[in-house]
A and B are shown apart, each in its own frame.
Chain A
Amino acid sequence: MTLHTINKQTSDCVSHCLNALAENDTVLLIEDGVYAAMTGCSAAEHWQQLPDGVTCLALADELAARGIRGQIAATVQPASWEEFVALCTQHEKVISWG
């Protein structure tokens, strides 16, 4: 089980991460990575076709700061800083893409 963090909104950053996803991994969008979850943004469609058991989350404070809290793909769940810490402890590895 791996936690993948994405901190940029560029589509190559997102697609590199998605190619590397295994079952039951978790993707966490942080900093500018949260833009990748925006509906209408080209990267957002990636979240429709995640491998089995993969969940995608985005830091709620980062979404709020960027004004896109209400515009994220339905498959992406908001997460708190506490959940971020918990995810780091629950996964064997943390890989940051960006």
Chain B
Amino acid sequence: MTAPTSLLILMRTTPYGDQQARAAIDLALTAAAFELKVNCVLLDAAVLQLAGNQDTSAGGQKNHLALLSALEIYDVEALYVHTPSADRFGISSASLPYFAQPLEDKQLQQLMAQADQVMVF
């Protein structure tokens, strides 16, 4: 069996509710550092990870939006936002940050088919 060369990470959780969103980012950064081709998709409630200007100064947490914006610098191929999920949570595609690309169901299926390994958080 050959080692996987591409990884698709599906994120499904809100940024600060538990540790899942953070764990997904840690995995993305680690896998990219080991030269895997990594793509990330924000699905369901994970689209809330992109909401507004997050100010975590009061809670002592890391700013999740800032972590997402850094993925590209650390060689993660792309960060996608599942458009139907964003619609459900009232997040318009016009309000998406520059580092997130919209993704329809059909394209999601293609990403899943192309990836050697898919992990869900």
Contact = CB atoms under 8 A, between A and B. Distances in A.
Interface in B1-59: 14-17, 45, 48, 51-56, 58-59
Interface in B39-83: 45, 48, 51-56, 58-59, 61, 65
B90 A67 contact: no
B54 A67 contact: yes
Interface of A is mostly: helix
Nearest to B15: A66
> Contact residue range for chain B?
20 to 34
B59 A61 contact: yes
Choose among A40, A64, A65, A68 the residue with the greatest number of B CB atoms under 10 Å from its CB: A65
Contacts of A41: 89-90
A71 B48 contact: no
Contacts, number: 59
A8 B61 CA distance: 18
Given A40-B90, A61-B58, A69 B52 contact: yes
A95 to B, nearest CB: 20
Contacts of A67: 51-55, 65
Contacts of B48: 9, 35, 66
Interface string A44-84: 00000000000000000110111111110000000000000
B54 A66 contact: yes
25 contacts: A9-B17, A9-B45, A9-B48, A32-B14, A32-B16, A32-B17, A35-B45, A35-B48, A38-B89, A38-B90, A40-B89, A40-B90, A40-B91, A41-B90, A42-B88, A61-B58, A62-B59, A64-B56, A64-B58, A65-B58, A66-B14, A67-B51, A67-B52, A67-B55, A68-B51
Interface of A: 8-9, 31-32, 35, 38-42, 61-62, 64-71
